[in-house]
């Protein structure tokens, strides 16, 4: 198999080693397919329309309009909006599944789950104005499940979940008519408007994309995070390890992959059960090693410290170690190619979601009522498969990095302010006095077009060296963990101001906030920074930006939109598929800022990316009047008395 076109940018040695194994054994990987596929120019620019059978049409100089007369901007806007709809659907369906689990717990229909974080239940209930005083937790949970389920359907009033945004931002959304009235409604309306012959004004279509994206970020994703915390616990800082070296040579290896935490939580519990471990030992293994890929990994990492085998691009490589007895996949970011890779080894790949079947995978359909039973049966089957492992097919890279994860917003409050006076004052003060220049959320995927980790890591290093505190989610977090950026010692790579803050608190300069739906935690953190005071009264005032340097999935398109609509600059390592629509491109990268205070920026090389983010942060600092670094001054008694306090 050939080398990837961007292999020079692959900087993860474990991946390089496993790519060599793939080549030697003739096993095809995502990098080979990346080389083999000719990237479609029309698709990349948003200029291919297949929404009806007049075409499919491709816009070019010779044919500037499709058969129906739609121009480049209309076609690109419609294509983009359908990605926003798909991304919103993915996160929000995940949220809906969790609400369903919450309902089953509340109604006593499953004993596989319970309310783990009652404090979070109460906090969430209060957001929706649910009475909590003197009521049993399960009653409150039931009413909360009712309210949250209603957030998906159409309602005459905007979604209640939006109330968590700053008041000024809510008013801006209302003024611009982009408040969603229900997740499902926002997606259905968007799909209707982009049907052949309906909404042809590119800016009007984009407005509907923004509405749907808000139903994701401030709706489905916010709900998914809150309910996960209620059911499984709100994360606290914990130590774990990452990269393919977490796969164990002498234990039964089970890898969970996908996004939803419900089954994987039960699998984790079963793997810790001494009876299960004893069974594994009876089969000649030293124990059981559970690890994860993608955001299912992030979910059980954040709450249980379960090691992470790798990010999106490493899913095939994990199987290629030859030491994985079972890979359990649920939904999203699962490559169908896993079937052909697994066929070269003894690995069983089991699809567990009712929504997602793949040819060549075994299938069980997960149901919350029997979750523990199903988890036990799967783990037993993995243990039984240990005997089929071929020792001479095993190659496990010697790559395993320790790191700290578990930074929920509550944990950040407690870390900065202490358990009893938890709060963000020290963070706001550090931003105001310039020790921390600003905050960047670096999120999203890996993409073979960008080389493995070769774009995210240099960007994050450049930002922390410039005193920017970085918040991470998704595969970007896994990537930075592998590069050693998620340990307190990484403070040595930070600029002097950020380093001083990190060393005083004992925190890394780069904080892992969770899975992709947990981008909602970044929104919540932004709200709390504003509420703490001194940095404006809207998210667009903050010296903060978002970035997805290696974005790949449609979820990233939706995430980018809701961050922009929330008032942030969003930098993408390659443009959204819109550049063929000149007016649409200008709307996204310029004009949206006038309306929403946020916009997209495209930047493919690290110096450009760092500059775009720092320029934006500095512009915001200037607007806040905090652009000059204040020197901390030691005052004598006379000077203190002269202070007007």
Chain residues binding ligand BF8 by CB under 6 A are 259, 294-295, 312, 333, 444-445, 474-475, 515-516, 552-553, 555-556
Nearer to ligand BF8, 70 or 294 (CB): 294
* DSSP β-ladder status, 401-405 and 238-242: antiparallel
135 contacts: CB under 8 Å, gap ≥ 6: none
Rounded to 5 degrees, what are φ and ψ at 342? -65, -30
Nearer to ligand BF8, 301 or 424 (CB): 301
Least distance in angstroms from the C-beta of 422 to ligand BF8: 29
Least distance in angstroms from the C-beta of 224 to ligand BF8: 11
The rounded distance, in Å, linking the Cα atoms of 269 and 307 is: 14
Q: How many CA atoms lie within 13 A of 611 on its CB side?
A: 7
Q: Residue 312: which of 453, 466, 165, 169 has the closest Cα?
A: 453
Nearer to ligand BF8, 468 or 475 (CB): 475
Nearer to ligand BF8, 147 or 445 (CB): 445
Least distance in angstroms from the C-beta of 554 to ligand BF8: 8
The rounded distance, in Å, linking the Cα atoms of 179 and 164 is: 13
Nearer to ligand BF8, 243 or 540 (CB): 243
Rounded to 5 degrees, what are φ and ψ at 49? -115, 125
* DSSP β-ladder status, 599-602 and 348-351: unpaired
H or E, element range at 256:
strand 252-258
Q: Residue 233: which of 407, 145, 116, 137 has the closest Cα?
A: 116
Q: What is the DSSP string of 318-383?
A: HHHTS--SEEEE-SSS--TTHHHHHTTSS-EEEE--TT---TTSEE----GGGHHHHHHHHHHHHH
Distances (CA, A) of 644 to 127, 276, 639: 39, 67, 10
Nearer to ligand BF8, 189 or 299 (CB): 299
Encode 293-305: b = buried (16+ Cβ within 10 Å), e = exposed: bbbbbbbbbbbbb
Q: Please answer whether residues 224 and 576 qualify as being in contact, where contact means their C-beta atoms are separated by less than 8 angstroms.
A: no
Strand-pairing partners, residue 511, are: 471
Q: Please answer whether residues 479 and 446 qualify as being in contact, where contact means their C-beta atoms are separated by less than 8 angstroms.
A: yes
Least distance in angstroms from the C-beta of 231 to ligand BF8: 19
Least distance in angstroms from the C-beta of 551 to ligand BF8: 7
Least distance in angstroms from the C-beta of 609 to ligand BF8: 17
Nearer to ligand BF8, 288 or 556 (CB): 556
Least distance in angstroms from the C-beta of 428 to ligand BF8: 29
Nearer to ligand BF8, 254 or 516 (CB): 516
Nearer to ligand BF8, 89 or 112 (CB): 89
Number of C-beta neighbours around residue 149 at 10 A? 15
Nearer to ligand BF8, 517 or 530 (CB): 517
Least distance in angstroms from the C-beta of 462 to ligand BF8: 20
Nearer to ligand BF8, 329 or 493 (CB): 329
The rounded distance, in Å, linking the Cα atoms of 637 and 634 is: 10
Q: What is the DSSP string of 545-584?
A: EEEETT--SHHHHHHHHHHHHTT-EEEESS--TTTTSHHH
Least distance in angstroms from the C-beta of 107 to ligand BF8: 30
Q: Residue 610: which of 450, 456, 435 has the closest Cα?
A: 456
398 contacts: CB under 8 Å, gap ≥ 6: 245
Least distance in angstroms from the C-beta of 555 to ligand BF8: 5
State the residue for tokens 């979820």.
555
Strand-pairing partners, residue 546, are: 441, 570
Q: Please answer whether residues 316 and 340 qualify as being in contact, where contact means their C-beta atoms are separated by less than 8 angstroms.
A: no
Least distance in angstroms from the C-beta of 220 to ligand BF8: 13
Q: How many CA atoms lie within 13 A of 211 on its CB side?
A: 27
* DSSP β-ladder status, 438-442 and 468-472: parallel
Nearer to ligand BF8, 121 or 329 (CB): 329
Least distance in angstroms from the C-beta of 152 to ligand BF8: 20
Least distance in angstroms from the C-beta of 297 to ligand BF8: 8
Least distance in angstroms from the C-beta of 330 to ligand BF8: 11
Q: Please answer whether residues 63 and 72 qualify as being in contact, where contact means their C-beta atoms are separated by less than 8 angstroms.
A: no
Nearer to ligand BF8, 548 or 617 (CB): 548
Nearer to ligand BF8, 350 or 475 (CB): 475
Q: Please answer whether residues 517 and 98 qualify as being in contact, where contact means their C-beta atoms are separated by less than 8 angstroms.
A: no
């Amino acid at each position: 198999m050939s080398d990837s076109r961007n292999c020079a940018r692959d900087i993860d040695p474990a991946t390089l080693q496993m790519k060599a194994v793939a080549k030697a054994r003739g096993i095809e990987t995502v990098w080979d397919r990346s080389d083999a596929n000719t990237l479609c120019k029309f698709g990349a620019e948003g200029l291919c329309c297949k929404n009806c059978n007049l075409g499919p049409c491709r816009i070019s100089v010779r044919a500037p309009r499709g058969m129906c007369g739609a121009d480049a901007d209309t076609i690109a806007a419609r294509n983009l909006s359908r990605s926003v709809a798909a991304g919103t659907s993915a996160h929000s369906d995940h949220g809906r599944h969790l609400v369903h689990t919450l309902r089953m717990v509340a109604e006593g229909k499953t004993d596989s789950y319970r309310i783990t974080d009652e404090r979070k239940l109460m906090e969430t209930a209060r957001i929706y104005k649910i009475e909590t005083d003197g009521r049993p937790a399960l009653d409150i949970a039931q009413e909360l499940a009712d309210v949250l389920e209603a957030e998906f359907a159409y309602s005459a009033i905007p979604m209640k979940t939006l109330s968590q945004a700053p008041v000024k931002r809510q008013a801006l959304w209302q003024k611009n008519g982009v408040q969603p009235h229900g997740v499902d409604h926002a997606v259905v309306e968007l799909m209707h408007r982009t049907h052949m012959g309906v909404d042809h004004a590119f800016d009007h279509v984009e407005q509907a994309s923004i509405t749907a994206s808000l139903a994701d970020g401030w709706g489905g994703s916010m709900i998914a995070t809150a309910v996960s915390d209620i059911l499984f616990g709100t994360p606290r800082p914990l130590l774990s390890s990452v990269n393919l070296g977490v796969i164990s040579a002498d234990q039964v290896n089970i890898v969970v992959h996908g996004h939803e935490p419900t089954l994987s939580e039960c699998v984790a519990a079963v793997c810790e059960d001494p009876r299960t471990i004893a069974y594994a030992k009876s089969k000649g293994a030293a124990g059981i090693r559970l690890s994860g890929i993608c955001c299912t990994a992030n979910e059980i990492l954040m709450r249980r410290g379960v090691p992470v085998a790798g990010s999106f691009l490493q899913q095939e490589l994990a199987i290629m170690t030859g030491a994985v007895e079972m890979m359990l996949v649920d939904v999203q970011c699962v490559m169908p190619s896993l079937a052909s890779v697994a066929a070269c080894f003894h690995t069983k790949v089991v699809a567990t979601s009712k929504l997602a079947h793949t040819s060549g995978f075994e299938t069980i359909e997960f149901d919350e009522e029997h979750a523990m039973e199903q988890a036990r049966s799967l783990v037993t089957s993995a243990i039984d498969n240990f005997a089929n492992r071929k020792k001479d097919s095993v190659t496990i890279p010697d790559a395993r990095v320790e790191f700290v994860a578990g930074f929920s917003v509550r944990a950040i409050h407690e870390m900065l302010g202490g358990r009893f006076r938890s709060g963000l004052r020290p963070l706001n003060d550090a931003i105001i006095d310039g020790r921390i220049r600003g905050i960047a959320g670096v999120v999203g995927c890996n993409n073979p077009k960008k080389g493995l980790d070769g774009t995210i890591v240099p960007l994050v290093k450049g930002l922390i060296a410039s005193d920017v505190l970085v918040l991470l989610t998704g595969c970007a977090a896994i990537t930075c963990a592998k590069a050693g950026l998620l340990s307190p010692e990484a403070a040595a790579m930070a600029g002097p101001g950020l380093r001083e803050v990190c060393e005083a608190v004992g925190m890394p300069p780069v904080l892992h906030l969770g899975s992709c739906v947990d981008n909602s935690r970044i929104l919540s953190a932004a709200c709390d920074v504003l509420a703490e005071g001194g940095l404006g009264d809207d998210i667009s005032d903050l010296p903060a930006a978002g970035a997805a340097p290696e974005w790949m999935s449609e979820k990233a398109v939706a995430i980018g939109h809701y961050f922009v609509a929330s008032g942030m600059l969003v930098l993408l390592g390659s443009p959204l598929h819109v550049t063929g629509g000149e007016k649409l491109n200008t709307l996204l990268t310029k004009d949206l800022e006038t309306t929403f205070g946020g916009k997209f920026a495209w930047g493919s090389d690290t110096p450009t990316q760092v500059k775009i983010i720092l320029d934006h942060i500095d512009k915001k600092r200037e607007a806040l009047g905090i652009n000059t670094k204040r020197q901390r001054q030691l005052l004598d008694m006379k000077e203190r008395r002269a202070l007007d306090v």
